[in-house]
Amino acid sequence: MEALELARWQFGVTTIYHFLFVPLTIGLSFIVAVLQTVWYRTGRHEYLQATQFFGKLFLINFAMGVVTGIVQEFQFGMNWSEYSRFVGDVFGAPLAMEALLAFFLESTFIGLWIFGWHRLPRAAHLACIWLVAIGTNLSAYFILAANAWMRRPVGFEVNPENGRAELNDIWAVLSNDQAWSTYLHTVSAAFITAGLFVVCVSAYKLWRNQKHGDTGIRGVTPPKGDFALFRGTLKVGLVFTLVAGVIVAVSGDHQAKLAAQYEPMKLAAAEALWETEEGAAFSAFAVGDTEARYNPIDVTVPNILSFLATGEFDGEVHGMNNLQAAYEAEYGEGDYIPNVFVTYWSFRLMMGLGMAGVAIAAIGLWLTRGRDRTPSVHGRLTRWFYPLAVLALPAALSANIFGWVLTEMGRQPWTVHGYLLTAASVSPGVSLGTVALSLTGFTLIYGVLAVVEVGLLVKYIKAGPSHLVPDLEKDGDESKIPHFSY
C-alpha cells in the first residue's frame, strides 16, 4: 500500500462526511429564513415556533459543516502538495474569495442571529439569517467553480519555465459552463435535501401524534398547536423539494451533455459503454468484464444515451476503448479508464435515490392537496406515507454522496483533466504512516461526532417546538421569546 491510496481514502471519507452537512446548511438556512420572514410579516405564533424549532436543528447541523470544512481547505496542502503547487495560482483564487466574501459573512451573521434575538431590532435580526443564507450559497459557487475547473480547465496557461498552471482569465474560471451548471445541480439537490429534512421531521411528528397521541416523551401530551404547525411545515418542505426537483432534473440533463463534451470518458464509464456508438442505448442494468472490456449482460433502452448526451437520438457517444486509444496517443501510455463499477453504479444510485426522494414529495403534495388536509384524513394511505416520508431524507443524502462519487471517481486518473494525474498530485514528503494516522484520527472523531449529532437532532425533534417556545399568545410578552445562547 502507498500513501497515495490512503490520501485518496482520506479525501473520500472527509469529503463525503463534510457533504452530509453542507446541503442541509445550504437549504435549511434558506428555509429558516423564509419561516422567520413569514413570522415577521404575519406575527403568527406558529411561524415563530417553526423558526426556532428548525433553527435549532439547523444550528446543530451547521456546527458540523463548519468544523469539517476547515479540514477540506487544509488537506489540499497537507496530502496534495504537488497538486497545490501546480494549481494554486488558479484554484487558490476562488478559495480565497470564498473565505473573504462568503465565510466571513456567514460566520459573523450566524453569531448575530444566534445571540441577537433580544439585542437587534426584528428587521435587522431577520436580515442576519438572510445574510447567512446568501453567504452559504455564495460559498457554494466559489468552491464549485474551483471543482469545475478541475473537470474543464479554462482561463490559464501552463508556464513552461516552472511547470505551473498560471491564471490569465479569472472571468473564464468563474463563468465556466461546468461551474454554473454544477452550481445549479448541486444547490438544487441541497434544497431537495433540506426540503426532505423538513418533510421527514414534520411527518415523523405527525406520525407519532397519530400513533401514540404523545410527543415521544412519556406522559407528555402534545399541545394542539404542534399539529397545525407540522401540517404547515410538511407542506413547505414538500413544495421546496418539488420545485428544486425540477431544477435538479433540468441541470442534471445539462450536466450529462457537458460530460459528453468535456469528460467523455466519465460518461462512457458511467454508462459502461465500451465502444463508440451512434444512437447509443441507455444501460439500465449491466454486468461488466473490465478485464476483457465488454459487458456480458446489459439491459438497455435504445437511443436514450445518445439523446441524453447529445440531444439527438442518433448522436455519437464515445466508448471507453476508443477513448483509451485516443488518450494514449495524446498523453502517452497509461490507464485512462476510471473504476467502471463505481462510476456506473454511483450514477444509477444518484439518479434512482434522487428521483425516489422527489417522487415521495410529489405523492405527499398530492395527498395534502386542498386546504388544511394532511395524509391523516386519507385513511389507509397514511400508513405507508409517513415511513416513506421519513425514508426520503436518507435517500436524498445518499443521492448527494453518489453524485460526488460519480464526479470525483469518474474524473480519475486525473485531478486536473488532461493536465495533472492524481498519482502526480500527492505529497511526496508525507509518509504512509503519517497519512494512516490522520485517516484513522479523522475517521474515529467523525464517527463519534456523527453519533452525538444524530442523538442531539433526535432529542430536539422529540422535544418538539412547544418545549422551546412557550405560548406567547397567552400573555403577549415578547421578552419571553427564548434567546439562544451557549
Partner 1 sequence: MDLAVIWFIAISVLWIGYFVLEGFDFGVGTLMPFMGKRDSVDRRVAINSIGPVWDANEVWLITAGGATFAAFPAWYASLFSGFYVPLFIILVALILRGVAFEYRGKRDDSTWRLWWDRAIFFGSAAPALLWGVVFANVVRGVAMDGDQIVTASLADLFNPYALLGGLTTLSLFALHGAVFLSLKTDGPVRTRARAAALRTACVAVPAAAAFLLWTQLAHGPAWTWPLVALAALALVGGVAAARARREGTAFGLMVAAILAAVITLFGSLFPNVLPSTTDPAFSLTVENASSADYTLTIMTWVAVVFLPLVLLYQGWSYWVFRRRVTGATVTGETVTRGSGA
Of residues 115 through 144, those in contact with partner 1 by CB under 8 A are 115-116, 118-120
From the list 189-197, 317-325, 359-367, 433-441, the region that binds partner 1 by CB under 8 A is 433-441
What's the grid cell of residue 297?
449482460
The answer to whether 186 and 139 have CB atoms below 8 angstroms apart is: no
429 binds partner 1 (CB under 8 A): yes
Bridge partners for 285 per DSSP: 299
Instruction: For residue 374, give the DSSP letter.
Output: -
Bridge partners for 156 per DSSP: 167
289/293 Cα distance (integer angstroms): 6
From the list 34-42, 232-240, 410-418, 440-448, the region that binds partner 1 by CB under 8 A is 440-448
389/200 Cα distance (integer angstroms): 5
From the list 22-30, 89-97, 401-409, 466-474, the region that binds partner 1 by CB under 8 A is 89-97
The answer to whether 286 and 299 have CB atoms below 8 angstroms apart is: yes
Torsion of CA 123, 124, 127, 131, to 10 degrees: 180
Q: In the complex, what is the shortest distance from the CB of residue 374 to partner 1, in angstroms, rounded to a whole number?
A: 30
Nearer to partner 1, 194 or 439 (CB): 439
Output 8-13 pairs: Cβ under 8 A, ≥24 positions apart.
8/422, 9/439, 10/75, 10/79, 10/435, 10/438, 10/439, 10/442, 11/75, 11/79, 11/80, 12/405, 12/408, 13/439, 13/442, 13/443, 13/446
84 binds partner 1 (CB under 8 A): yes
Nearer to partner 1, 79 or 324 (CB): 79
Q: Which of 2, 41, 43, 104 binds partner 1 (CB under 8 A)?
A: 104
Q: In the complex, what is the shortest distance from the CB of residue 275 to partner 1, in angstroms, rounded to a whole number?
A: 41
Nearer to partner 1, 243 or 432 (CB): 432
Angle formed by the axes of helices 224-262 and 45-79, nearest 10°: 30
379 binds partner 1 (CB under 8 A): no
Torsion of CA 379, 384, 387, 393, to 10 degrees: -110
Q: In the complex, what is the shortest distance from the CB of residue 12 to partner 1, in angstroms, rounded to a whole number?
A: 17
What's the grid cell of residue 92?
487558490
CA 267, chain centre distance (Å) = 21
From the list 45-53, 94-102, 178-186, 225-233, the region that binds partner 1 by CB under 8 A is 94-102
Q: Which of 28, 110, 190, 200 binds partner 1 (CB under 8 A)?
A: 110
Q: Which of 427, 461, 465, 466 binds partner 1 (CB under 8 A)?
A: 427
295/286 Cα distance (integer angstroms): 7
Q: In the complex, what is the shortest distance from the CB of residue 458 to partner 1, in angstroms, rounded to a whole number?
A: 12
The answer to whether 304 and 311 have CB atoms below 8 angstroms apart is: no
Q: Which of 5, 41, 42, 77 binds partner 1 (CB under 8 A)?
A: 77
Torsion of CA 34, 37, 39, 40, to 10 degrees: 170
- Give which of 413, 401, 287, 315 is closest to 353, Cα–Cα: 401
Bridge partners for 40 per DSSP: none
Nearer to partner 1, 59 or 239 (CB): 59
3-state secondary structure of 289: strand
Residues touching partner 1: how many (CB under 8 A)?
A: 78
Q: Which of residues 47-76 bind partner 1 (CB under 8 A)?
A: 59-60, 62-64, 66-71, 73-74, 76
Q: Which of residues 267-296 bind partner 1 (CB under 8 A)?
A: none
Q: In the complex, what is the shortest distance from the CB of residue 408 to partner 1, in angstroms, rounded to a whole number?
A: 19
Q: Which of residues 145-164 bind partner 1 (CB under 8 A)?
A: 159, 164
Q: Which of 82, 177, 253, 298 binds partner 1 (CB under 8 A)?
A: 82
Residue 81 CB neighbour total at 10 angstroms? 16
From the list 292-300, 350-358, 407-415, 423-431, the region that binds partner 1 by CB under 8 A is 423-431
217 binds partner 1 (CB under 8 A): no
Nearer to partner 1, 86 or 404 (CB): 86
Q: In the complex, what is the shortest distance from the CB of residue 345 to partner 1, in angstroms, rounded to a whole number?
A: 31
Q: Which of 96, 217, 301, 450 binds partner 1 (CB under 8 A)?
A: 96
447 binds partner 1 (CB under 8 A): no
The answer to whether 60 and 471 have CB atoms below 8 angstroms apart is: no
455/402 Cα distance (integer angstroms): 25
81 binds partner 1 (CB under 8 A): yes
Nearer to partner 1, 29 or 79 (CB): 79
246 binds partner 1 (CB under 8 A): no
From the list 247-255, 376-384, 398-406, 434-442, the region that binds partner 1 by CB under 8 A is 434-442
Per-position x/- string for 1-40, each x denoting binding to partner 1 as judged by CB under 8 A, each - no binding: ----------------------------------------
